Chains A and B, each alone.
Chain A
Amino acid sequence: MPDRPERVLGKATRDAYGETLAQLGRENPRIVALDADLSKSTKSVVFGKAHPERFINVGIQEANMVGVAAGLATTGLIPFASSFATFLMSKAFDQMRMAVANPGLNVKLVGSHAGVSIGEDGASQMGVEDLALACALPRFTVLVPADARAAAALTRVAAEHVGPVFLRTGRAKAAEIYPEGTAFRVGGSVTHHLGRDVNILACGLMVFEALEAAALARAEGIDAGVVDLYSLKPVDADAIVAAAAASGRLVVAEEHLRHGGLGSIVAQVLAERHPARVVAVDLGDRYAESGTPEAVLEAYGMTSARVLEAIRKAAAV
């Protein structure tokens, strides 16, 4: 049984994305990148500096950027278009719908600054509906890395996958979870430990919180496990069912609003295949506010302490 994980902050997932994208650009001349004037924040700037002839900054024009990316894809190139998750999904949703999803073009969309962990900038910059929107699009693959190594691997997975992909990255340094060489794939998941009492299904930053909370729960005598569902779409339904079958009671933890994110996806799988009690840890049905990342994460329950409470609640049923 795994010990309580040590909280060692690694790179932010956005940094891992930018560095990997630049490396992919060296390996594959068909990879191009676009940004809408946020390249220093999304980290697509790393690609831009390495491959200026294949980097297009369209200005603050998310809708145009996604349309341009679609056009680039029709010429055989593999465009990665980056912006903040909220601007990308909200401002360019119709372009993703008709220009990308409808024909199923090979466009990669990377949304950074997801969740409330950006802190000070406040609600307008926080991507908290992005997963619901991305998962709503037919033909889209939706990936949410939990740490820098997962982000690097999933950037590579996105490039190799043929078809539209939304990859979610974060601003904050992410606690290290995965060793070098961990395998990630479209439709995959990582089961860290399958608990007999409660299993936590999580994605993104909440995976580390879940690992820490599970260790604390085990110290209290609750056998809690964790599954990283980094592929929201297609989701690893078998892993969800296996977790439900092992413990009967689940916690879902995500840095996203209540409706349409991981919790909704898990509930749908369970309702169809293996009904089980779920306690949700999410951002609810409200917008967050400014503060230090630590203060905001605490205020909105994006902590191992809050996940531990949910585990206790689930275990008590």
Chain B
Amino acid sequence: MPAHATLPVDALRELAPRIRADALRMIAAANSGHPGGSLSAVEILLTLYKGVLRHDPANSEWDGRDRFILSKGHACPALYAVLADCGYFGRDLLPTFRRFGSPLQGHPELGKLAGVEASTGSLGQGLSIGLGMALGHRIRGVDARVYVLMGDGEINEGQVWEAALSAAHLKVDRLTAIVDINRIQLDGFTSDILELEPLADKWRSFGWEVVDLDGHDLDALAGAFDRMRSVAGRPQVILARTTKGKGVSFMEDNPEFHGAPPSAGELARALVELGVADA
């Protein structure tokens, strides 16, 4: 079985600001991208790639790998930074994000970049694709799990609830969804645009195993993914309560940084706050 690095939580805690810094540098260099939802997802991504997923960056199409789908595709700066850190491709590609000819597309595209498992960015599609993967594994007898990260704004989309219904009905248990609940979507706060709560009740009533936790708490995340692996007969969802723009004071809980890049000055301030200022 291919090796996969499992890092202790304190190592992830040290890595998290560097991933945030990479994501912000990419967005600033491209002068476009989505800082807020990238920063909110960092601990979720690190927990998955550094401790949960059975994967092999040197053999990214290994048949028995666990799959991860970033359904909230606009958070791809954080995903690309984590994939580069895992060794899927060189870090030298990161500054090419959103440049013409780069495999680091504005939203992830399957077939363009190692480690990307689905073309996302049109919100609401990832859970269906992940369900298809899990069913494919079941039909073929492949012992692999599928993880799908969605945004809370994203689950406005009806297709998510189609997939939620059918995954439970089909008793797919090697499928874990994570909702990055950063409470902000493009036009403002989710509670103002379209109320989602009570979210845990909704997923439970759809037949899913639910864990509600702090999405920046690395210990809680690791424990939840561990617990989900032992759930039989039904899919699971982790409701990860996060802070949009986490780690940068002026981006936190600020809808303005959903889809706007930081200026040069803002990037410099952000890097200082993250403790990774470039010389």
* Docked complex Cα distance between A76 and B170 (Å): 20
A67 touches B159 (CB 8 A): yes
Contact for B140 among A56, A64, A76, CB less than 8 A: A76
Write the A47-65 contact mask toward B (1 if CB under 8 angstroms, else 0): 0000001101011010111
Q: Which residue in chain A gives the minimum CB-CB distance to B144?
A: A75
A79 CB contacts on chain B under 8 angstroms: 132
Contact for A71 among B109, B131, B159, B162, CB less than 8 A: B131
Q: Is the interface of B mostly helix, strand, loop or mixed?
A: helix
A95 touches B128 (CB 8 A): yes
Q: Which residue in chain B gives the minimum CB-CB distance to A71?
A: B132
Asked if B119 is at the interface (CB within 8 A of a chain A CB), the reply is yes
Kindly specify which of A13-21, A96-104, A297-305 makes contact with the partner chain. Answer: A96-104
B63 touches A76 (CB 8 A): yes
A interface residues, how many (CB within 8 angstroms):
32
* Docked complex Cα distance between A69 and B117 (Å): 14
How many interface contacts (CB-CB < 8 Å) are there between A and B? 112
Asked if A77 is at the interface (CB within 8 A of a chain B CB), the reply is yes
Asked if A74 is at the interface (CB within 8 A of a chain B CB), the reply is yes
* Docked complex Cα distance between A64 and B164 (Å): 10
B136 CB contacts on chain A under 8 angstroms: 32, 71-77
Would you list which residues of chain B between 95 and 152 have a CB under 8 Å from chain A?
109-111, 117-122, 125, 127-137, 139-140, 142
Contact for A32 among B110, B120, B139, CB less than 8 A: B139
* Docked complex Cα distance between A104 and B119 (Å): 10
A99 touches B111 (CB 8 A): no
B129 CB contacts on chain A under 8 angstroms: 67-68, 70-71, 74, 99
Q: Which residue in chain A gives the minimum CB-CB distance to B157?
A: A63
* Docked complex Cα distance between A111 and B122 (Å): 23
B109 touches A103 (CB 8 A): yes
B117 touches A67 (CB 8 A): no
Asked if B163 is at the interface (CB within 8 A of a chain A CB), the reply is yes
* Docked complex Cα distance between A68 and B164 (Å): 12
* Min distance, Cβ B63 to any Cβ of chain A, angstroms: 7
B158 CB contacts on chain A under 8 angstroms: 63
A98 touches B119 (CB 8 A): yes
B163 touches A67 (CB 8 A): yes
* Docked complex Cα distance between A119 and B162 (Å): 30
* Min distance, Cβ B197 to any Cβ of chain A, angstroms: 24
A64 touches B120 (CB 8 A): no
A75 touches B142 (CB 8 A): yes
A75 touches B128 (CB 8 A): no
Interface centre among A70, A79, A98, A104, by most chain B C-beta atoms within 10 angstroms, is A98
Asked if A94 is at the interface (CB within 8 A of a chain B CB), the reply is yes
B166 touches A99 (CB 8 A): no
Q: Which residue in chain B gives the minimum CB-CB distance to A54?
A: B139
* Min distance, Cβ B64 to any Cβ of chain A, angstroms: 11
Q: List 25 A-B contacts (CB under 8 A).
A: A53-B139, A54-B139, A58-B162, A58-B166, A59-B162, A61-B165, A63-B158, A64-B166, A65-B128, A67-B127, A67-B131, A68-B132, A68-B163, A70-B129, A70-B132, A71-B129, A71-B130, A71-B136, A72-B136, A74-B67, A74-B117, A75-B139, A95-B128, A99-B125, A102-B109
A-B contacts besides A59-B165, A95-B159, 8 pairs, CB < 8 Å:
A61-B165, A63-B158, A68-B131, A68-B132, A72-B133, A73-B132, A103-B111, A103-B118
In the A-B complex, the 10 residue pairs with the closest CB atoms: A71-B132, A67-B128, A75-B136, A64-B162, A103-B110, A68-B132, A71-B133, A61-B162, A102-B119, A71-B129
Chain A positions within 8 Å of B, measured between CB atoms, are: 32, 53-54, 56, 58-59, 61, 63-77, 79, 94-95, 97-99, 102-105
